[in-house]
A and B are shown apart, each in its own frame.
Chain A
Amino acid sequence: MYPANFRYIRPQSLDEAIRLLEENPEAKLLAGGHSLIPAMKLRLATPPLLVDIGRLSELRGIREEDGAYFVGALTTHAELERSSLPLLPLVAKVIGDPMVRNLGTIGGSLAHADPAADYPAAVLALEAEILAKGPRGERWIPARDFFQGMFQTALAPSEVLVGLRVPKLPGYRFAYEKFLHPASGYAVVGVAAAVLQEGEALKDVRLGATGAAYGPFRLEGVEAALKGGAGPEEATRSYTPPVSLAEDRFASAEYRLHLLRVLARRALEKALAG
């Protein structure tokens, strides 16, 4: 189907984009377009105005800043796949296919907050911070506060996701385990792990999950068990998440719980093995 009629503006600066959003509360930002355009074609989304930020150079690129990495919102999955950032390359490489990865952006994916998207698990495990800019200026949102349920984020209506700060996490090792939906390629369950060991001692562990529920979450119960000395198998075997799990035709909540435990164990084993 064709989208409903809409206006299209390509602002020349981020501030102009923010102003357009402020003046047009129903407007949508267009970046890679990989979620918005299909929704518009099905007329699930009928924004009267598209604000195309896809070519704003101030949203592009990865740089080092204040001892951390700053990833611009328009950074594509393909760019992240080739980067040397912690964890994110492991996640980017299992998103969609090369065509999707060449166009889709991390900012678009995070702002869309699809409950089965891959990045949310990783930014939770990385404890990244998201930079938003709106009419009243910039603010940093910790990843744990950013996701607020299915397609819901902490972004205000006229805020633009500018990028995210990713800590360098020296010495950490990472893994991302994903169980692909055979049709959509999205995560039925995905678990991202970041671990820090000193010798045999586990100094830190962070696990983020996506797909399993109606939004991403940290597996704090597993993290606590591991810090208390349990091994991956013991820590995950009867883990119960803090949220109710998603259910669809492909995977029941019960099966998702099972996958969550298995994938958490595998992600840990892989990360610990380095």
Chain B
Amino acid sequence: MPYVGQAVKRKEDYRFLTGRGVYTDDLTLPGMVHAAFVRSPYAHARIRAIRTEAALKAPGVLAVLTGEDFAREGVKPMPVGWLLPTLKIPPRPVVARDEVHHVGEIVAVVVAETRAQAEDAALLVEVEYEPLPGVADLRKAVAPGAPELHPEAPGNVAFTWEIGDEKAVEEAFAKAHKVVRLSLRQQRLIPNAIEPRASLAAYNPGTGEYTLYTTSQNPHVHRLMHAAFILGIPEHKLRVVAPDVGGAFGSKIFPYPEEAAVLVAARRVGRPVKWAARRTESFLMDAHGRDHETEAEMAFDAEGRVLGLRVRTLANMGAYLSLFAPAIPTYLYGTLLSGQYRIPAIYCHVTGVFTNTTPVDAYRGAGRPEASYILERLMDLAAEEFGVDPADLRRKNFIPKDAFPYATPVALVYDSGNYEEAFQKALELADYWNLRKEQAELRAKGRYLGIGLSCYIEACGIAPSKVVGQLGAQAGLWESALVRVAPTGKVEVYTGSHSHGQGHETAFSQVVADLLGVSLEDVEIVHGDTGRIPFGMGTYGSRSAPVGLSAVVRAVEKVLDKARRIAAHLLEVAPEDLEYREGRFEVKGVPGKAKGFQEVALQAYLAHNLPEGMEPGLEATAFFDPSNFVFPFGTHVAVVEVFPETGEVKLLRYVAVDDCGPQINPLLVKGQVEGGVVQGIAQALLEEGVYDENGQLLTTSYMEYAMPRAAHIPRIEHGYTVTPSPVNPLGVKGIGEAGTIAAAQAVVNAVMDALKPFGVRHLDMPLTPEKIWRAIREKTPVAAD
């Protein structure tokens, strides 16, 4: 029985569950010392002076490095990896020199023998600041007279960007029967991986080689950025190792100032230097997510068909541009605004805005939840205005299954889809029409049930590289794999993808084991070390199955091709006469005449009897650059009860029907959907990163930032449809972000549905009890009291 398609339990779990995982902070190198950072307490300030004498005299202190030191060392600003035509790129220093632009920005680095000594000494560094007016709020930042962060960006505008046909949209609105409008806010989210970031840098002056152990989703991206762009050292002299990584959600894609700082510090003090973030530092420095203000309007004809969509968004970039920040509210957002719907005309305009806040970049979903949220909220509001059920309005507007490949008016061509099937399945699983009856019955009894739908698409495995280059990416988005067969027939797979919770070691092994006809235990997946793997682009944007695993498949095919030629030579037949089955090359029509994979592998290395001119060995490298993105999709249904007396929301049920094409491992798919859904539910009801008007982050611990807990989440009911993609050998689509993309609007739609009797039209996330209570009370003062 093939492994693919089975709910195989994760190979990696044995080491994780028995406490044998090795994370960056678990590593100790001989002579290792520790770094602590002096960080700005101000959102915006000029640095008048830094006095380091007291810190330098403190016990165990080896060095105190300031922005001046980093400048003298030739350290360059943090790079930006996605360019837009109007983009302004103010330099983001590793260590601030003249001005600080957000709370938490690094002002000095203290290196000491122990972590406690480093932290004690960091408190002795005296920094004299001249506080400057700052701005944290998006709208205030673009208002006339707002304090400006950077001379390069007048009016705090980082970029303006548009997509779609504005004129066609105007025409669509001109002939519309009905226009539905919505102003909405996507709150700021803070990623909160369970493992805080950590980095350990070592420098060998004898060879000039650096090693950086760090929490990375993409070690080669880290290597390229730190070596070539920040430190200016030869790329091949830096090895980046991402050992076990405990979650990331995008926050570990980007190179960070702390990583560059420990590399420089290791060179300066001549000893390995480690830093591990305190949770407060994670809140302050890990790239945040979302933070949009949006005006959206959708035009309909008299029958409820969508004619056009117009969206204007202010997107908060934070104080500087993080690595891929410009791509998130543009190419990963505006291009997704067709969703599952046939929309003839779409126009989207985005203004990227600098504020005195932590930089914002990709966070699970990255642009796509924001787009889907707009569509799904508008669909619900429109259904209400048309007086039809939201399910019926959506069904009327789906792109039909025979329309694929489908070109949207916002640059994408959807590979494959069958939206109606997943939708129908979700309605059946939820028992939607009976829920509507139950809702009506409960309302008559003074109880407020709400049902929310969310029909989403995800775009993942962004490709091909040529196209993403034209869109501004300063990187190719292919993936690499090296498959190396040992003389005993054991298989090592070196992948450029990186697993930090996804379970690649299991899923990739399943595919390789099936293709080679070997057992799961005979396949080892190696990742996360630039010293071992071929140049790889890493894991983000749900790309590992469609892109990374496709490269593995291609490399396995090359290995099998060579093995076939060796087997044919040994069996004295033509390669075409062989059939590969269950780990053996069999001569077609001659039962028993065969060579096993292990024997062929041994012969490849013995090289005593290889075909004329063939090189010994059995390994192959492949680079896979897909011809298009893949577009997973599905429909989610949330059922809530709202308690008007206190404004509390109870999530009663959550139904998720997802289509990621053929599933390699249904257990992993389910896990990815569940984790993603929980994050989306948390956005809808709980999480919010809040700054005060001076740019102080108020949510810097779990005392204030509400993470989802088991009690907040009902049992998630799963369903699946299977629509293969034509753009990769396995037909697979990513599933890492689908849940997060779908869930927030399913829950918000459900809560708003429950609040309909009170005349509440829209509330922004998170839907906290007081917000709901106030909204009800404003509309119906008596009902709430």
- A residues with a Cβ closer than 8 A to B are 1-2, 4-5, 42-43, 179, 181-184, 237, 249-252, 255, 258-259, 262
Contact = CB atoms under 8 A, between A and B. Distances in A.
B233 interface: no
Contacts of B705: 183
Given A1-B280, A183-B706, A262-B646, A252 B116 contact: no
Interface string B763-785: 00000111001100000000011
For chain B, the bracket of interface size reads 20 to 34
A183 B706 CA distance: 4
Interface in B278-313: 278, 280
Given A1-B280, A5-B120, A262-B645, A250 B768 contact: yes
Contact of B704 (A2, A183, A262): A183
Contacts of A252: 770
Nearest to A255: B770
Interface in B239-263: none
Contacts of A5: 116, 120
Interface string B642-668: 000110000000000000000000000
B698 A249 contact: yes
B116 A249 contact: no
Contacts of B702: 183-184
B384 interface: no
B703 A179 contact: no
Contacts of A250: 768, 770
Contacts of A255: 769-770, 773-774
Given A4-B120, A249-B690, 19 more contacts: A2-B116, A2-B119, A2-B120, A5-B116, A5-B120, A43-B123, A179-B646, A182-B685, A182-B706, A182-B768, A183-B702, A183-B704, A184-B703, A184-B704, A250-B768, A252-B770, A255-B769, A255-B770, A259-B646
Nearest to B648: A179
A5 B769 CA distance: 42
Nearest to A263: B646
A255 B646 CA distance: 9
B571 interface: no
B707 interface: yes
B115 A2 contact: yes
The 10 nearest A-B residue pairs measured at CB: A182-B706, A183-B706, A255-B770, A184-B703, A2-B116, A2-B119, A1-B278, A182-B686, A183-B704, A251-B770
Interface in B702-730: 702-707, 712
B683 to A, nearest CB: 13
Given A1-B278, A2-B116, A249 B645 contact: no
A273 B685 CA distance: 32
Q: Chain B binding site: helix, strand, loop or mixed by DSSP?
A: loop
Given A183-B702, A184-B702, A249-B704, A258 B773 contact: yes
Contacts of B115: 2
B513 to A, nearest CB: 40
B514 to A, nearest CB: 43
A270 to B, nearest CB: 15
A57 B770 CA distance: 45
Contacts of B712: 182
Given A250-B770, A255-B773, A1 B119 contact: yes
Contacts of A183: 686, 702-707
20 contacts: A1-B278, A2-B120, A4-B120, A5-B116, A42-B280, A43-B123, A181-B706, A183-B686, A183-B702, A183-B705, A183-B706, A184-B702, A184-B703, A237-B785, A249-B698, A249-B704, A250-B768, A255-B774, A259-B646, A262-B646
Contacts of B645: 262
A249 B123 CA distance: 29
B753 to A, nearest CB: 22
B700 to A, nearest CB: 10
A263 to B, nearest CB: 9
Contacts of B707: 183
Nearest to A180: B711
A249 B770 CA distance: 10
B503 to A, nearest CB: 27
A259 B645 CA distance: 9
A56 B375 CA distance: 62
Nearest to B766: A182
